[in-house]
Structure 1
Amino acid sequence: MADNRTVNVSSADDVKGTRASEGMGGLAKGLAVIEAFERAQSALTVAEAARLTGITRPAARRCLLTLTECGYLSYDGKRYQPTLRLLRLSAAYLSTAQLPALAQPYLVAARVALDQSVSLAVWDDGWSVFVNRAESTHILSPGVKVGARLPAASTATGRVLMTSLSEEELAAVLDRQPPERHTARTVVDASQVVEAVRRARSDGYAIVDGELQEGLRALAVPVKDSRGQVIAAMSVNVMAAQVSIDRLRDEFLPVLVENATALGRTQ
């Protein structure tokens, strides 16, 4: 179901508050509609697309129809839904970005050592975006796929990535995107999220236990470049019934730290 957050269309066609003379307002609206599908987490009606993007219904309808004609969306008579063609938009980044490519051998090494899928995520203004993943051989492997965007406040990767923010920047992010409840365990108090981020900064890792999905635990560590800046987070997701928090710290953490550190040396 769609939430109440609104995509700021103006940010897509304004540069530092000044509209670019060569800007394309229609393209900006279309991109905002595409981003709205991530917030809806499924399909959208014209009314929902308009509400999430802050544009008019006629404009939202035109965007949805154009994206459908181009093959990026499908339409069942009521709702619009993304097609696999949308993956092409992220493929250009994933095929040329240096970090995801360099990360592959380290993700694989961690996966082999842990016999669990290992992922790499980067920061995107309040979201944790997964840009690479080494899949385990398990039939049922918990975690997220490449291209997924998860709320930073409720994820281990997000809290690790937020350790690079100043206190003012962190407060601003949580003000723009307040923590939302996903399970009974989700931390929704912004001050508690701030404390969790501070703890992750001090400890050098973050563990989230059932906050995003019941029965799922996640461990993440920072990937730091040569200047000591956090540029990504390496993580592993496990079923709580199979892996204890103590085991995450004792067995999984050293493996992630070793490979995240090695990856950081390439930057």
Structure 2
Amino acid sequence: MDEEKSGEYVEALARGLAVIEAFDDQTPEMTLTELARKVDMSPATVRRNLHTLEALGFVRRNNKHFLLAPRILTLGSAYLKAVRVDEAIMPELYRITALFGDAANVGVLDGPNVLYIAHLSEARAARRMASVGVTYPAYATSMGRVLLACLPAEEIENYFRNAELRQLTDVTVTDTKALRAILGEVRTNGYSITVDQLDYGITALAVPIKDSTGRVVAAVNTSGYSPRLKPDDLLEQRLAEMQIAAARISNLLMRFPALLHSLIPH
């Protein structure tokens, strides 16, 4: 049954969450009219949501503009604390960055995107960087390709029917046929390497994280600066350790059932 048509679906809550999610790096502050246009709701509906969120401390206003308040961070941190990401995932990310430097991440599929649920970086560079809670198009990331490749055939078909494949760099693969071939290789190889697909200067290697049944529930990657990190070197130097990291995280998930259950695709 379609949840949106069932009696259990709370439309007011869905609208409030849509208002929160409308704020991003491109639109950190918006007027009521701008926000209503972005979420495709009536100004009256958006006004009521903003009033409630402001009363709860999640939204503030700056003259005629509305923006998220620091308290909004409690929503995301509640998940991280409840499922104990620090204990289940972060030890391996620390180990990976200690071995190789650069950055390491764990992500899951969130619609057409990969959502980063854990991140550790040796240092920030002048390029697009991941952080917890950030989403990027799955087709252009190493973790996204690993996760897409492991989907059932019908879900992959649905993905390609609905995904917006945009050219993010001069070398971003957006051709559906080419992407299907890449996903086939990823499925066969058990890993994905991307070079300058999401942004210039990012080379990454990702492998799947599985539960006890062998089902892929997440992915872990290591990334670095393209000019000094060649794909062949990445495979030779890091693949074995990334596979070890994925296996260790998989084992740890058995000790943290709340985290595991939250990652299982629905």
- TM-score of the pair, normalised by structure 2: 0.83
Aligned residue pairs: how many?
A: 252
Per-residue Cα deviation, 1:145-170 (whole angstroms, up to 9, x for no partner): 11111121211111111122112101
Question: After the TM superposition, which residues 82-231 of structure 1 pair with which residues of structure 2 at under 5 Å, given as runs?
Answer: 82-98=68-84, 101-136=87-122, 138=123, 140=125, 143-231=129-217
Per-residue Cα deviation, 1:169-189 (whole angstroms, up to 9, x for no partner): 012123223222222222222
Query: What 5-or-longer segments of structure 1 have no aligned partner?
Result: 1-13
Per-residue Cα deviation, 1:29-68 (whole angstroms, up to 9, x for no partner): 0101222235956444434433443322332233234334
Q: Would the alpha carbon gap of residues 181 and 42 (structure 1) be closer, same or farther in structure 2, given more than 3 Å must change?
A: farther
Give distance in 2, aligned partners of 1:173 and 1:33.
Answer: 25
Give distance in 2, aligned partners of 1:196 and 1:72.
Answer: 42
Q: Would the alpha carbon gap of residues 194 and 83 (structure 1) be closer, same or farther in structure 2, given more than 3 Å must change?
A: farther
Give distance in 2, aligned partners of 1:32 and 1:160.
Answer: 28
Q: Percent identity?
A: 27
- Counterpart amino acid of residue 19 in structure 1: S
Give distance in 2, aligned partners of 1:59 and 1:117.
Answer: 42
Q: Does 1:31 align with 2:43?
A: no
Q: Does 1:264 align with 2:250?
A: yes
RMSD: 2.5
Q: Would the alpha carbon gap of residues 27 and 160 (structure 1) be closer, same or farther in structure 2, given more than 3 Å must change?
A: same
Tell me if the contact between 1:107 and 1:133 (Cα under 8 Å) persists in the aligned partners. yes
Q: Would the alpha carbon gap of residues 18 and 245 (structure 1) be closer, same or farther in structure 2, given more than 3 Å must change?
A: same
Give distance in 1, aligned partners of 2:168 and 2:61.
Answer: 28
Per-residue Cα deviation, 1:202-235 (whole angstroms, up to 9, x for no partner): 1111112112111222221111122111111111
Q: Does 1:16 align with 2:3?
A: yes
Residue 53 of structure 2 corresponds to 67
- TM-score of the pair, normalised by structure 1: 0.83
Tell me which moved more, 98-107 or 153-162: 98-107
User: Equivalent residue of 1:212, what SS?
Assistant: coil
Query: What 5-or-longer segments of structure 2 have no aligned partner?
Result: 255-266
